[in-house]
Amino acid sequence: MKLMTALRSVAVASLFIAAPVLAQTAAPESANPPAADGKGRGGHHWHKGKRHGNKMARMEHRMDKAVAEGRLSQAQADQFKAEGRQLREEMKAQREASGGTLSDAQKDEMRSKMRAFREKVKSAMQANAPQKT
């Protein structure tokens, strides 16, 4: 009988201690309701809450991986990284100069430059790729 009373006392005491802690951790989650536009949580596992991520960092990571696999030389990768950063800075400068938005012609020009850059990187990787037998 004393054992049951002791167990109940421990259980009640642990609830008194745990309840404020549980309430405290649950409050921040309820403070951020899911987005109403249907683009809430979910998506791919590598995003982990970030919907777009850092495109430049992903590009650099892919180039580092290509160097490790022998599809690009380190010099080529460094050159491509610098060129990618330059394109990104050019786009930012154009956007700032035009007051935050680009005209359709500017958008098309930047898209074509980025497409050409990606094709250039892709063709360099394919040219240096080890041949499969």
Question: Does 120 reside within a domain?
Answer: yes
Q: How many CB atoms lie within 10 A of CB 95?
A: 15
Burial classification of residue 2, based on how many CB atoms lie within 10 Å of its CB (0-12 exposed, 13-18 middle, 19 or more buried):
exposed
Spatial separation of the C-alpha atoms in residues 117 and 91, rounded to whole Å: 14
Structure tokens at 28: 């921040």
Question: Does 7 reside within a domain?
Answer: no
Question: Does 5 reside within a domain?
Answer: no
Question: Does 63 reside within a domain?
Answer: yes
Domain assignment of residue 79, given as a range: 57-128
Asked if 124 and 70 touch (Cβ cutoff 8 Å), the reply is: no
The pLDDT tens digits for 56-105 are 788 889 889 988 988 888 999 999 999 999 998 998 898 898 888 888 99
Amino acid at 17: I
What's the gap between Cα 111 and its chain centre? 21
What's the gap between Cα 30 and its chain centre? 24
Question: Does 35 reside within a domain?
Answer: no
Spatial separation of the C-alpha atoms in residues 94 and 88, rounded to whole Å: 10
The pLDDT tens digits for 7-61 are 788 777 777 677 666 666 655 544 555 555 555 555 555 545 555 557 778 888 9
Question: Does 69 reside within a domain?
Answer: yes
Question: Does 102 reside within a domain?
Answer: yes
Q: What is the pLDDT of residue 26?
A: 53
Question: Does 118 reside within a domain?
Answer: yes
Number of domains forming the structure of the chain: 1
Task: Annotate 2-55 with DSSP letters as a single string.
Answer: HHHHHHHHHHHHHHHHHHHHHHHHHHHHHHSPPPTTS--S-S-TTTTT-SS--H
